[in-house]
Amino acid sequence: MRKPPPLARERLMTKIAFMASRAEIAESARKTLIEAYGNHDPEDADFIVALGGDGFMLQTLHDTQHLDTPVYGMNCGTVGFLMNEYAPGGLIERLDVAEEEVIHPLAMRAVTPDGAVHDALAINEVSLLRQGPQVAKLRISVDGRVRMEELVADGALVSTPAGSTAYNYSAHGPIVPIGSQVLALTAMSAFRPRRWRGALLPSAAEVRFDVLQHEKRPVMAEADSRSAVRNVLTVVIRSRPEVRHRILFDPGHGLEERLIREQFV
């Protein structure tokens, strides 16, 4: 029996799970790649390749967080900040030389008036948003100490470095270097204190929001714009260093480089 050529043997040895968003371009790319490289169950794969945009990349990371399998994204969406350029050829070689970034999520614990507790993880940010026409009133505590008695704003968020260029940046928060061990606390359209933009906190800090006048000024909480909890009373946010997500990038295009480049656009 003839041995397969070297590249074919390499393809047989490298087990890849291809996952795609519902976008037509992503589904088409998945079919092309499966024809070239085969396909494996994520539970048995050496690599997971996510095809879509940043939203799908976050979904893939959440869906596979119980695995310790690196995820390599290829952009078949719009922004693609967490993705690599899509190209069907040379994938094995790209995976072989890819640079790995390890990021840790935030844990959100939200409590509602009926006493229900809602837990969720966020890779980018945990956000609190007003539900109605009235602005939110929030008390902010850090590590058990009240730091702001009353923030009057459309909302506030706590962002990881990886998520600092997403919702946080749109709310005029700072871009945080990936290895800085810092979280960004950012206000959205702050009314009082006037123009308050937020604070930088150690990654080990525990941030607590208490919603004031919750019946008149209801607030909802979200983790990565999902897992929405309406009419919250309190939200506690802390880092989860024991949970890790492994993301692969082409050499010279890792998160650190992207975060620096984003500041000079």
Q: Which residues contact 264 (CB under 8 A, 6 or more apart)?
A: none
- Three-state SS across 12-68? HHCCEEEEECCCHHHHHHHHHHHHHHCCCCHHHCCEEEEEECHHHHHHHHHHCCCCC
Q: Are 121 and 218 in a shared domain?
A: yes
215 is annotated as contributing to ligand binding: no
234 is annotated as contributing to ligand binding: no
Q: Is the pLDDT of residue 46 over 90?
A: yes
Distances, alpha carbon 205 to alpha carbons 31, 106, 180, 237, in Å: 44, 11, 14, 9
- Closest by CA to 235, choosing from 249, 216, 214, is 214
Decide: helix, strand or coil at residue 149: strand
Q: Are 171 and 213 in a shared domain?
A: yes
Q: Are 93 and 119 in a shared domain?
A: no
Domain count, the chain: 2
54 is annotated as contributing to ligand binding: yes
170 is annotated as contributing to ligand binding: yes
Q: Is the pLDDT of residue 6 over 60?
A: no
Looking at residues 90-115, what average pLDDT do you find? 96
Q: What percent of the chain is predicted at pLDDT more than 90?
A: 83
Q: Are 70 and 187 in a shared domain?
A: no
Q: Which of 44-53, 138-147, 219-228 has the lowest mean pLDDT?
A: 219-228
Q: Is the pLDDT of residue 79 over 90?
A: no
Q: Are 118 and 134 in a shared domain?
A: yes
Looking at residues 89-103, what average pLDDT do you find? 95
Looking at residues 175-196, what average pLDDT do you find? 91
125 is annotated as contributing to ligand binding: yes
pLDDT of residue 11: 54
168 is annotated as contributing to ligand binding: yes
Instruction: State both tokens at 94.
Output: 């790209």
pLDDT of residue 12: 54
Q: Can 54 be counted among the known catalytic residues?
A: yes
Q: What percent of the chain is predicted at pLDDT more than 70?
A: 95
Q: What is the CATH number of the domain that holds 14?
A: 3.40.50.10330
Element (H, E) at 93: helix 91-97
Q: Determine contact, residues 166/159, Cβ cutoff 8 Å.
A: yes
| pLDDT, tens digit, 9 for 90 and up, residues 240-255 | 999 999 999 999 888 8
Q: Are 126 and 230 in a shared domain?
A: yes
| pLDDT, tens digit, 9 for 90 and up, residues 123-174 | 999 999 999 999 999 999 999 999 999 999 999 999 999 999 999 999 999 9
Q: Are 134 and 156 in a shared domain?
A: yes
- Closest by CA to 39, choosing from 52, 49, 51, is 49
Q: Is the pLDDT of residue 197 over 90?
A: no
Query: Which residue among the candidates 41, 44, 46, 54 is catalytic per the annotation?
Result: 54
How many angstroms separate the CA atoms of 50 and 64, rounded? 11
Q: Determine contact, residues 24/56, Cβ cutoff 8 Å.
A: no
Give residue 115's region: left, alpha or beta (phi > 0; psi -120 to 50): left
Q: What is the CATH number of the domain that holds 114?
A: 2.60.200.30
Q: Are 47 and 161 in a shared domain?
A: no
Residue 1 in any domain: the answer is no
224 is annotated as contributing to ligand binding: no
Residue 89 in any domain: the answer is yes
Higher pLDDT, residue 150 or 196? 150
- Closest by CA to 127, choosing from 150, 148, 110, 151, is 110
Half-sphere exposure of 173 (CA within 13 A, CB side): 33
Q: Which residues contact 75 (CB under 8 A, 6 or more apart)?
A: 52, 53, 83, 84, 85, 86
Q: Is the pLDDT of residue 5 over 50?
A: no
Looking at residues 33-43, what average pLDDT do you find? 96
154 is annotated as contributing to ligand binding: yes
Q: Determine contact, residues 178/187, Cβ cutoff 8 Å.
A: no
pLDDT of residue 126: 98
Q: Is the pLDDT of residue 47 over 90?
A: yes
Q: Are 111 and 85 in a shared domain?
A: no
Q: Are 86 and 209 in a shared domain?
A: no
pLDDT of residue 9: 45
Higher pLDDT, residue 18 or 197? 18
pLDDT of residue 213: 96
Element (H, E) at 155: strand 155-159
Domain extent, residue 155, equals 106-239
pLDDT of residue 258: 84
Q: Is the pLDDT of residue 7 over 70?
A: no
Residue 211 in any domain: the answer is yes
Residue 222 in any domain: the answer is yes
pLDDT of residue 254: 82
Decide: helix, strand or coil at residue 163: coil
How many angstroms separate the CA atoms of 36 and 61, rounded? 24
pLDDT of residue 263: 80
Q: Are 123 and 223 in a shared domain?
A: yes
Q: Are 63 and 31 in a shared domain?
A: yes
250 is annotated as contributing to ligand binding: no
Looking at residues 181-206, what average pLDDT do you find? 94
10 is annotated as contributing to ligand binding: no
